[in-house]
């Protein structure tokens, strides 16, 4: 053990100093390190006592009023660990010296003093400022680890069971969570998925609910069923193009259709056994005319209406003249037409004769 730490330190030290300081002859006595207690404050001199085989397993003799701190390897102000900490439940204790802290107080620096205090480091089964009570692993984690309540997801409905003074607990996971197998401690840190034990057939994709209790397979086209294991007989065709907007001005609607197709018979299914709707709607908008544009279109419409009526009158006059001409100058088999033509010719002769006499 001693040779191992000496050789590791030899690699990280300059060769000229390593040969002088780290001599294999000092093994297994860590006090044989050069000037190990001389340069430390509040020590009485060169008195060093080995307490183990490790590199830092030694104790220097401290001056009166000071005691050796094995954590910082220094002489701290005297304290009685057996009085201030429970001796049977304390792993080791150390003195945290007083410090001065600079804080901001309304834009000005202000110094405050924090008195020194004793810090008791407890065995894993105990807790408290003095290690005075048994630790409940569900409430407090050992050595900075997560507590059992956190590991068991108690906030999400899980439970943590343990006995005070023991370092082990048992989790009952809530819905949606399960044990993370990579950790040695019992836990409920992994989210559970219903898809862990489900395989969707035919390249279907499995989706789990948030609580991990239910799943749904999203099937590829052509398949259906709880696990996408059944081929689809009735299937929708693709949606048609959108129809034109049914509004002349403002908001309207467009519609798109699809057909339920029977894949076995190769034709449309008259009973519409495909799931879903055969048509869908979407909102559309048509541009509305301004007042000026509307007045222009109204004027054009009135003009076209006038032209249409004039053309009707002209057409009727033309037909009347044509009928009158036919009655006067063309032979007809109808007696009424003959008589009417004789009467008209007689009226014309009389009118011409009266004009000549005058």
Per residue in 185-196, pLDDT tens? 899 988 888 888
Answer whether residue 12 shows pLDDT above 50.
no
Per residue in 243-289, pLDDT (tens digit) is: 999 888 888 999 999 988 776 666 676 566 777 888 999 999 888 87
Higher per-residue confidence, 139 vs 345: 139
pLDDT, one tens digit per residue, over 337-352 is 666 667 777 777 777 7
Q: What is the pTM of this model?
A: 0.33
280 occurs within a structural domain: yes
Positive or negative, the Cα torsion across 43, 44, 48, 51?
Answer: negative
User: Among the listed ranges 32-46, 226-240, 266-280, 318-332, which one has the minimum average pLDDT value?
Assistant: 318-332
Domain containing 250 equals 234-288
Lowest mean pLDDT among 85-94, 101-110, 320-329: 101-110
Band of pLDDT at residue 178, cut at 50, 70 and 90:
confident
User: With b meaning 16 or more CB within 10 Å and e meaning fewer, what string describes 175-205?
Assistant: ebbbbeeeeebbbbbbebbbbeebebebebe
Q: Is 50 exceeded by the pLDDT of residue 132?
A: yes
In a domain, 229, yes or no: no
Which range, 108-122, 163-177, 244-258, has the best average confidence (pLDDT)?
244-258
Identify the top-confidence range among 219-223, 233-237, 285-289, 302-306.
302-306
Q: What is the mean pLDDT of residues 172-199?
A: 87
At residue 337, the pLDDT reads 62
Ramachandran angles phi, psi of 95, nearest 5°: -100, 125
Question: Is 281 contained in some domain?
Answer: yes
Q: Across residues 125-138, what is the average pLDDT?
A: 84
Q: How far apart are CA 15 and CA 110, in angstroms?
A: 49
pLDDT for position 214: 87
Count of H helices and E strands in the chain?
6, 23
Cα dist from 308 to 304, 318, 337, whole Å: 6, 15, 33
In a domain, 239, yes or no: yes
pLDDT at residue number 1: 41
**pLDDT tens, residue by residue, 46-56:** 688 888 778 88
Query: What total of structural domains would you count in the chain?
Result: 2
Single residue among 288, 303, 332 that ends a domain in this structure: 288
pLDDT at position 243 = 93
- For residue 340, being part of any structural domain is answered with yes
Residue of 25 and 79 predicted with greater confidence:
79
Q: What is the CATH number of the domain that holds 243?
A: 2.20.100.10
Three-state DSSP state, 253: strand
Higher pLDDT, 242 or 142: 242
pLDDT at 333: 55
Within a domain: 305: no
Does some domain include residue 64?
no
Residue 266 lies in a domain: yes
- Peptide bond preceding 28 in cis form (omega within 30 of 0): yes
Give the percent of the chain with pLDDT over 90: 15
Averaged pLDDT of the chain: 77
């Amino acid at each position: 053990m001693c040779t191992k730490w000496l050789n590791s330190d030899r690699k990280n030290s300059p060769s000229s100093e390593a040969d002088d300081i780290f001599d294999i002859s000092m093994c297994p006595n860590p006090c044989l390190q050069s000037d190990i207690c001389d340069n430390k404050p509040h020590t009485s001199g060169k008195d060093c006592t080995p307490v183990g085989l490790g590199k830092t397993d030694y104790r220097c003799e401290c001056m009166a009023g000071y005691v050796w701190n094995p954590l910082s390897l220094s002489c701290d102000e005297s304290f009685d660990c057996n009085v201030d900490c429970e001796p049977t439940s304390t792993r080791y204790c150390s003195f945290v010296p007083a410090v001065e802290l600079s804080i901001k107080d309304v834009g000005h620096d202000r110094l405050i003093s924090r008195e020194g205090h004793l810090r008791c480091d407890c065995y894993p089964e105990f807790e408290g400022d003095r290690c005075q009570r048994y630790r409940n692993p569900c409430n407090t984690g050992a050595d900075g680890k997560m507590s059992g309540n956190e590991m068991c997801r108690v906030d999400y409905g899980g439970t943590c069971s343990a006995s005070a003074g023991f370092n082990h607990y048992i989790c009952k996971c809530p819905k949606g969570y399960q044990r993370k197998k990579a950790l040695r401690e019992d836990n409920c840190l992994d989210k559970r998925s219903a898809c862990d034990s489900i395989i969707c057939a035919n390249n279907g994709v499995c989706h789990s609910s948030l609580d991990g209790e239910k799943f749904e397979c999203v099937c590829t086209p052509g398949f259906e069923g709880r696990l996408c294991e059944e081929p689809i007989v009735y299937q929708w065709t693709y949606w048609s193009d959108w129809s034109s907007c049914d509004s002349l001005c403002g908001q309207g609607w467009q519609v798109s259709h699809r057909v339920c197709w029977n894949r076995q018979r190769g034709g449309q299914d008259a009973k519409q056994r495909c799931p879903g709707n055969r048509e869908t709607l979407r909102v559309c908008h048509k541009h509305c005319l301004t007042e000026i544009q509307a007045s222009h279109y109204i004027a054009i419409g009135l003009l076209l209406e006038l032209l249409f009526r004039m053309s009707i009158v002209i057409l009727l006059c033309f037909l009347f003249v044509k009928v009158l001409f036919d009655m006067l100058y063309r032979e007809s088999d109808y007696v009424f037409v003959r008589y009417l033509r004789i009467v008209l010719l007689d009226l014309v002769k009389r009118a011409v004769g009266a004009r000549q006499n005058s």
